[in-house]
Amino acid sequence: MKNYLNYVLITLVFLSTLGCTDDLDTEPIVELSLEELLARDPQAIEGILSRLYASFALSGPDGPGSSDIPDDAGESPFLRGIVNLQDFTADAMKNRWGDNGLDQLTTTSNWTADNKFFRYLYNRIYYTIPQSNNLINVLTAVDVDNEEVVSSEIRFIRALAYYYLIDTFGKGALITDEDFGVTTPVPEASRQDLYTYVESELLAIIPLLPPTNDYGRASRPAAEMLLSKLYLNAEVYTGMEENDNAAQFINRVIDDGGFTLASDFRLNFSADNNTSPEIIFPLIADAVNSQSFGNTTYIVNGSISTETMDPNDFGATQGWTGHRSSKGWYGLFGSSAGELAASSDVRASLFWTNGHNFEMEDYTQWTDGYPSTKFRNTNVNGTSVSTDFSGTDFPLFRLADAYLMYAELALKGAAGTDMNTATNYVNMVRTRSNASTITVSDLDEQFILDERARELNLEGHRRTDLIRFNKFTGSAYIWPWKGGTANGTSIPANYRLFPIPLNALQSNPNLTQNPGY
Alpha carbon 507 to its chain's center: 27
Please give the pLDDT value at position 102.
95
Pick from 150, 258, 161: nearest CA to 208: 150
Pick from 382, 380, 430: nearest CA to 404: 430
Please give the pLDDT value at position 29.
39
Please give the pLDDT value at position 38.
61
Please give the pLDDT value at position 26.
34
Under 8 Å between Cβ of 54 and 427: no
Residues in Cβ contact with 453 at an 8 Å cutoff, skipping those fewer than 6 apart: 91, 92, 328, 329, 332, 462, 465
Under 8 Å between Cβ of 162 and 137: no
Residue type, 470: N
Please give the pLDDT value at position 25.
40
Name 395's bridge partners: 282
Pick from 511, 509, 491, 490: nearest CA to 500: 511
**Residue 396 is inside which H or E element, if any?**
strand 394-398
Q: What is the pTM of this model?
A: 0.94
The two most distant CA atoms of the chain are separated, in Å, by 65
Residue 50: phi and psi, rounded to 5, are: -60, -35
Residues in Cβ contact with 77 at an 8 Å cutoff, skipping those fewer than 6 apart: 57, 58, 59, 124, 292, 293, 294, 295, 298
Under 8 Å between Cβ of 345 and 433: yes
Compute the distance between CA of residue 258 and CA of residue 406 in angstroms, rounded to an integer.
16
Please give the pLDDT value at position 34.
59
Compute the distance between CA of residue 473 and CA of residue 91 in angstroms, rounded to an integer.
12
Compute the distance between CA of residue 35 and CA of residue 382 in angstroms, rounded to an integer.
47
Please give the pLDDT value at position 8.
37
Pick from 466, 515, 517: nearest CA to 191: 515
- Three-state DSSP at 189 gives strand
53-85 pLDDT per residue, tens: 999 999 998 899 999 999 999 999 999 999 999
Compute the distance between CA of residue 180 and CA of residue 162 in angstroms, rounded to an integer.
18
Pick from 389, 185, 218, 173: nearest CA to 294: 389
Interhelix angle 419-432/445-456, nearest 10 degrees: 30
Under 8 Å between Cβ of 197 and 162: yes
Name 474's bridge partners: 491
400-440 pLDDT per residue, tens: 999 999 999 999 999 999 999 999 999 999 999 999 999 99
Q: What does the pLDDT profile of the chain (517 residues) look like in tens digits?
A: 454 443 333 333 334 333 344 444 433 334 456 567 666 675 688 888 999 999 999 999 889 999 999 999 999 999 999 999 999 999 999 999 988 899 999 999 999 999 999 999 999 999 999 999 989 988 887 778 889 999 999 999 999 999 999 999 999 999 999 987 788 899 999 999 999 999 999 999 999 999 999 999 999 999 999 999 999 999 999 999 999 999 999 999 999 999 999 999 999 999 999 999 999 999 999 999 889 999 999 999 999 999 999 999 999 999 999 999 999 999 999 999 999 999 999 999 999 999 999 999 999 999 999 999 999 999 999 888 999 999 999 999 999 999 999 999 999 999 999 999 999 999 999 999 999 999 999 999 999 999 999 999 999 999 999 999 999 999 999 999 999 999 999 999 999 999 999 999 999 999 999 999 9
Instruction: For the chain, state the CA radius of gyration.
Output: 22
Pick from 150, 187, 99, 170: nearest CA to 363: 99
Please give the pLDDT value at position 48.
86
Compute the distance between CA of residue 83 and CA of residue 90 in angstroms, rounded to an integer.
10
Please give the pLDDT value at position 140.
81
Compute the distance between CA of residue 118 and CA of residue 57 in angstroms, rounded to an integer.
17
Under 8 Å between Cβ of 437 and 424: no
**Residue 489 is inside which H or E element, if any?**
none
Compute the distance between CA of residue 210 and CA of residue 213 in angstroms, rounded to an integer.
6
Compute the C-alpha angle 446/450/456, nearest 5°.
Answer: 140
Query: What is the DSSP secondary structure assignment for residue 186, as one 8-state letter?
Result: P
Pick from 375, 222, 367: nearest CA to 298: 375
The domains of the chain, with CATH numbers, are 3-83+110-208+499-507 (1.25.40.390)
